[in-house]
Amino acid sequence: MPRSNLETLYLLLLDDNSQRSQSVIRLLREAGFGIRSERIDNLSGLEKSLQGSQWDVCIASENLEHLAQEQAIQTIFSYQSDVAILWLTDNQPDLPLLAQQLEQGISDCISLQQSEHLKQVVRREFENLRVRRLCQTEHVRANEAEARCEQLLSNSSLAISYLTDGMHIHANNTYCELFGIEDIEELTCLPVMDLVAREDQKRLAEHLRHPDQQLQVSETFMMHSADGSRNFLSEITFSSSVFESESCIQLQLQTGNSSLISHDLLDDGRCQHKNNFLEKLETLLERNPTGWIVLTSPDQIEDVREKYGELAADHQLHALQNLLDQELPHEYEFCRLNDGHLIVLIPNENRESVTELFCKLYEKADELLIDTGDTTLTVNAHFGMVSLSSAKNVVELTKHAGQALKLSIEKKTPIEILAHKPIASDNNDVDPAMVQMIFDAMTNQDMFLNYQPIVSLHGTPAETYEAYLRLKNPEGDMVSPGNFFPTAIKAGICDQLDLWILEKLCHQLKKEQDKGRQIRLFMIVSGQSYNSPVLAEKAQQLTNTLEIPPRSLVFQFNEEEVAKQLSKARTLNLQLRQYGFKTALNHFGLSEDPKAILKHMDVDFVKFHGEFTRQLGDEKGSKDRFRSLLDQVHSSECASVIPQVEDASTLAQLWQYGVNYIQGYYLQPPHQQLDYDFDEN
């Protein structure tokens, strides 16, 4: 139920007396509440109501004929833990009984005879609920802000640490790398004095004595690595801070090489500041964009760093950075990471043109020469490219890009592309070869769509098709959907297949629209796409960009999946409909309560399970069930679709039943062209 304002009270009434319920509603409306209510008098009705709606307050009358008090309380709390239960009595509450009821979880006992008390108790519980929900929301926001701060800290090019009483309590990766510390746990046992040269320890101690009074000041110190093997000058900025609710001192360190290491802060190039770039990228990912990132680095940078030092490695990376600065189109953005990599953000652009560009950059990088003293270095660089849709955050995205870069180096190819999210290797039930075949097929045209017409029996003119995903193996042989779909489900990549299908359908619709045809295409939504709004937002973005009408796309929800994830399916369905798309229930009629599912899913089409088509010639019972469900579908103002029609007699029978659309091999098998003659048939 959508909430329009805070004074709307969603009230659940457990009462077998409608007049008493109306009295309660009238009193609460007099108290200034807008009431949205439902009256229930049995257990099954209560369970359905709790599954379908979120309630604020439940007022339960005593001595319900078909629902025991303890059973009602347990049922409510098993579905919705944060709802106030008020027990309504005709007389004054019995105090010993009230104490027992409070122990069971009710919030209070009220009487119709005390109308003012009833109003005040409901207002109190409603306000308490509002505050609790607000606190929950703020708690989530606080956690998100804390996670974001931690992410910004860990990605910062500055070396940052936090100290209490001269001991490290936290530090970012850059700080640990600066001092040659591999495990942050080692750092928490290490006093900061152990990292400072003896002659500078007294000056440092002065800054650490008064953490609460510490203003932001900077001073240069001689530092050394944790193992004492390397000395370096560092400018330390001290400032007061708070970490995990404790007052502390924050240190920000810049080494003598900061002019090189932080070259992206200079104004002489397009390379952006890393923090600004990553924050922009994180914000972009929240909008489910289309586009790519490319990760690159000189192939031998670690060997150069070890043999010739940090300065030589930085010259090598800087040469590659200058090449990108000169050759990348103006709309491409890039920055320099603190681990020796460059990352490029590419807007929504054709993959082939991007690949061609970076293949040329690969050749140009191979021609670069860097002089460092007595040594001349080359700059060989490979590229790893991933889709922005392959991850939900920057850390995951750069990790995938790193995998693509590693693959490019191993295969000795200029650039490797991971168009979709890699699969974790710890799932023993997943066939890795099949998963890899699916991913490869996405990029090498071995995955494609077939279309089967859906024809109106009553002259509706729209040309309608359903899309089916098909796959070829590297040898060119067709792979049965019964082989690759189970693997995709186990590997958790069906949501990515949905996005692939969606993009192909949108471009197909655009192609047909440019020819002057008005086509409507059905696509099946996997249960894995119910968990987030990515599919709906991506669909809206594509239809807006390509200027195709949203009503041209019909998203089908499998009834079996909907029964398992009703709340999530309904949320996604509503979002798609708000964006103007059509929706449908698929494989309808075989769940335990298909009419209840239809009640909760506001759809335009209902496609029956093929089993009903096969049973039309069987016993009368099957026909009666089919006719009953068909009447329910039509009374819900949904268009009915019957699949797997194989002969003329079945078609004639369905026409007599008033079925709206049919589909099946009798009309046309699925194939790659949208060439069915709807006018002739």
Q: Residues 569-611: pLDDT tens digits?
A: 999 999 999 999 999 999 999 888 898 899 889 999 999 998 8
Cα distances (angstroms) measured from residue 445 to each of 217, 306, 500: 59, 43, 12
Give the mean model confidence (pLDDT) for residues 470-478.
88
* Cβ atoms within 10 Å of 293's Cβ, excluding its own: 24
Q: What are phi and psi of 61, to 5 degrees?
A: -80, 145
Q: Residues 626-638: pLDDT tens digits?
A: 888 999 999 989 9
Dihedral of the alpha carbons of 150, 152, 153, 156, in degrees to the nearest 10? 160
Q: What are phi and psi of 428, to 5 degrees?
A: -70, -20
246-255: strand order across its sheet: 167-171, 159-164, 246-255, 231-243, 217-224
342-346: strand order across its sheet: 333-336, 342-346, 292-298, 381-387, 415-418
Q: How confident is the model at residue 256 (pLDDT cuts 50, 70, 90)?
A: very low
Instruction: Tell me how far apart the terminal alpha carbons of the chain are, to the nearest angstrom.
Output: 44
CA-to-CA distance for 298 and 320, rounded, in angstroms? 7
Q: Residues 488-525: pLDDT tens digits?
A: 888 888 888 998 999 999 999 999 999 989 899 999 99
Average pLDDT, the chain: 83
Q: How confident is the model at residue 262 (pLDDT cuts 50, 70, 90)?
A: very low
Domains in the chain, CATH or no CATH each: 8-136 (3.40.50.2300), 157-256 (3.30.450.20), 271-418 (3.30.70.270), 437-662 (3.20.20.450)
CB 272 within 8 A of CB 336: no
Q: How confident is the model at residue 211 (pLDDT cuts 50, 70, 90)?
A: low
CA-to-CA distance for 582 and 569, rounded, in angstroms? 14
Q: How confident is the model at residue 257 (pLDDT cuts 50, 70, 90)?
A: very low
pLDDT(127) > 80: yes
- List the one residue out of 297, 296, 290 whose CA is nearest residue 387: 290
- List the one residue out of 506, 483, 497 whose CA is nearest residue 527: 497
E strands, 124-230, where?
159-164, 167-171, 217-224
